[in-house]
Amino acid sequence: MHKLPPLSLYIHIPWCVQKCPYCDFNSHALKGEVPHQEYVDHLLADLDADLPLSGNRALSSIFIGGGTPSLLSAEGMQALLDGVRARLPLSANAEITMEANPGTVEADRFSGYQRAGINRISIGVQSFSPEKLTRLGRIHGPEEAKRAARLAAGLGLRSFNLDLMHGLPDQTLEKALDDLRQAIALNPPHLSWYQLTIEPNTLFGSRPPVLPDDDALWDIFAQGHALLTAAGYQQYETSSYAKPGYQCQHNLNYWRFGDYLGIGCGAHGKITRDDGPILRTVKTRHPRGYMRGTYLDQRNEVQAEDLPFEFFMNRFRLLEPAPRSEFSAYTGLAESAVRPQIDWALTQGYLTETETHWQVTEHGKLFLNSLLEGFLAE
């Protein structure tokens, strides 16, 4: 029997000042002015079309990503969030996050975002090395990043996050740890610490830079993890660290196989229908097509044989134990459907099992891809 999980909302703002060479997100270099009100009107019309999928649930979180959402005016953000609140109830303690680029952050605009309802800001720092920032195509410098972090800290928001990357072109262990030390010194409640990966259909994909080898990457991760732990941060997901009580609630909902509506160019959604099926939605990628009013690109029902992989691909990214009851509650499948795979994972030492939970082991974390492949449909 299905149980409707918590519901979140993802909103995509597609424009950037310029496209970064490593980025495979749906972002488009801005030509001219951002069409603030026109795009907000389309976002709300897109949300109107998706409202029947909400199941009358309150939103537990909203995440505004991009692109560079901080290119949207504070007035545009106010109109957007007012429109969302007029259409869907928000939980009393709903987390509302906006991504921001340090190069587009201004004090008065940040205050305007806060008045609109933003209570958490995620700042895309990536590195504090001027040379590395240039190599990554970022438009900000180290001082702008620090200023943005101090500004976020001074606003009295619920939380703020710094995005940081490691394994950068020609990056040494000491340089990677220096980036982390500078981030920790700014005392963000949350740190996202990603390894740079080369994606197809990016500039780096066509002209790959020289990245640290596997041994160097392992040293960076091991020593960086120790540095973060010593500073009071707890790793709760593969690339996510937080002070106690400051985990990103929106991302937790993704990884716990929660539901989310996705509106805006190229936004993805995952929705459990009242009558059982789980739907995946994808919106029109390019702003031109989207702003002609053609919002929906794809809507597919997840097949029963694919549900185990989809569930565990998300759940096993988290370091917390996975409640066994949620597998049946959120997929509608009996646990017997995955019993052979669970038994195999137990014998491999990838998982431990109690009467109520599954837990990925340290060994399982190292071989996460192998663990997940065990749940792929034949």
Query: How many CA atoms lie within 13 Å of 168's alpha carbon, on the beta-carbon side?
Result: 26
Mean pLDDT in residue range 256-264: 98
Specify if 268 maps to a domain: no
Q: Are residues 62 and 209 in the same domain?
A: yes
Among 253, 270, 296, where does a domain finish?
Answer: 253
Which range, of 6-20, 260-274, 326-340, averages the lowest pLDDT?
Answer: 6-20
H or E segment to which residue 369 belongs = helix 368-373
pLDDT recorded at residue 207: 83
% residues pLDDT > 70 (the chain)? 98
Return the closest-CA partner of residue 100 out of 111, 84, 85.
Answer: 111
Is 330 found in the same domain as 240? no
pLDDT at residue 193 tops 70? yes
Q: For residue 52, is pLDDT > 90?
A: yes
Would you say residue 12 lies in a domain? yes
What pLDDT, on the 0 to 100 scale, is given for residue 45?
98
**In the prediction, which pLDDT does 351 show?**
98
Judge whether 295 lies within some domain.
no
* Same domain for 127 and 31: yes
In this structure, is residue 89 part of a structural domain? yes
Residue 50 within a domain: yes
> Do residues 223 and 350 both lie within one domain?
no
User: What's the confidence (pLDDT) of residue 253?
Assistant: 98
CATH number, domain at 41?
A: 3.20.20.70
Token digits for 85? 């609140």
| Minimum mean pLDDT range among 47-51, 86-90, 205-209 | 205-209
Looking at the structure, tell me whether residues 244 and 138 fall in a common domain: yes
The answer on 309 and 190 residing in a single domain is no
User: Of 235, 253, 271, which residue is a domain's last?
Assistant: 253
Give the CATH number, domain containing residue 373.
1.10.10.10
The CA–CA distances, whole Å, from 121 to 117, 150, 193, 291 equal 11, 12, 16, 27
Q: Residue 313's pLDDT is what?
A: 96
The tally of domains found in the chain comes to 2
Mean pLDDT of the chain: 93
Name the domain boundary from 213, 231, 253: 253
User: Does position 282 have pLDDT exceeding 60, yes or no?
Assistant: yes
Q: By mean pLDDT, which of 38-42, 70-74, 76-80, 260-264 is the weakest?
A: 70-74
Band of pLDDT at residue 24, cut at 50, 70 and 90: low
107 pLDDT above the threshold of 70: no
Question: Which of 15-24, 162-171, 364-373 has the lowest average pLDDT?
Answer: 15-24
**Do 240 and 316 reside in the same domain of the chain?**
no
Residue 105 confidence (pLDDT): 61
- Residue 153's domain comprises 7-253
pLDDT digits 0-9 by tens, 117-139: 999 999 999 999 999 999 888 88
Whether 163 maps to a domain, the answer reads yes
pLDDT band at 340 (very low <50, low <70, confident <90, very high): very high
- C-alpha distances (whole Å) from 175 to each of 132, 144, 202, 241, 342 are 10, 19, 25, 20, 41
* Mean pLDDT in residue range 72-101: 96
Instruction: Please check whether residue 314 lies inside any domain of the structure.
Output: yes
Q: Is 24 inside a domain boundary? A: yes
Dist. CA 178–CA 261, nearest whole Å: 38
Percent of the chain at pLDDT above 90?
82
pTM of the model: 0.95
**Tens-digit pLDDT profile for residues 216-228:** 999 999 999 999 9
- Write 332-336 long-range contacts (CB < 8 A, 24+): 332/1, 332/2, 332/276, 332/304, 332/307, 333/304, 333/307, 333/308
Task: Based on the fold, state whether residues 240 and 121 are members of the same structural domain.
Answer: yes
pLDDT tens digits, 348-373:
999 999 999 999 999 999 899 999 99
What pLDDT does 163 receive?
97
Residues in a beta bridge with 296: 283
pLDDT at 290 over 80: yes
